[in-house]
Amino acid sequence: MKRAFLGEFEEVVLLTVAILSDAAYGVSITQEIEQKTGRVVGFSTVHTTLQRLAEKGYLTSTMGGATAERGGRRKRFFTVTSAGRRALQEVKQVREELWSALPPQTLQLMGG
């Protein structure tokens, strides 16, 4: 099977969706990333990334019910698909392999 490719930001977004589980939609994802990473992220960037991930098949979405606070507009909730989970697992595994391959003295030099 082809190895999944995830960009760094894509990985962050995908992870955030996984964290928020049932409550993952545009606003909550943006705010969660801001809070967890301290990075200022544009909403449009998040939105575009979500679309891209959905196109790659790592995310699916369903429309929620109407809410008054958004002028009656519905939210689009995202959930991670199994392909998405596998991709996250692979990325994690690659990272861990890389970390474990690091010689101990280098690790020490880095202050780890």
Site residues for another protein per CB under 8 A: 20, 22-23, 25-28, 30-32, 42-45, 47-48, 51, 62-65, 67, 69-71, 73-77
State the minimum distance, in angstroms, from the CB of residue 55 to another protein. 10
Residue number, 71 or 103, with CB nearest to another protein: 71
User: In degrees rounded to 5, what are phi and psi of residue 73?
Assistant: -80, 150
State the minimum distance, in angstroms, from the CB of residue 23 to another protein. 5
Q: Where are the alpha helices (DSSP H) in the chain?
A: 8-20, 26-37, 43-56, 82-101, 104-109
Residue number, 47 or 56, with CB nearest to another protein: 47
Q: Which residues of 3-19 are buried (b: 16+ CB within 10 A; e: fewer)?
A: ebebeebbbbbbbbbbe
Residue number, 35 or 82, with CB nearest to another protein: 35
State the minimum distance, in angstroms, from the CB of residue 89 to another protein. 26
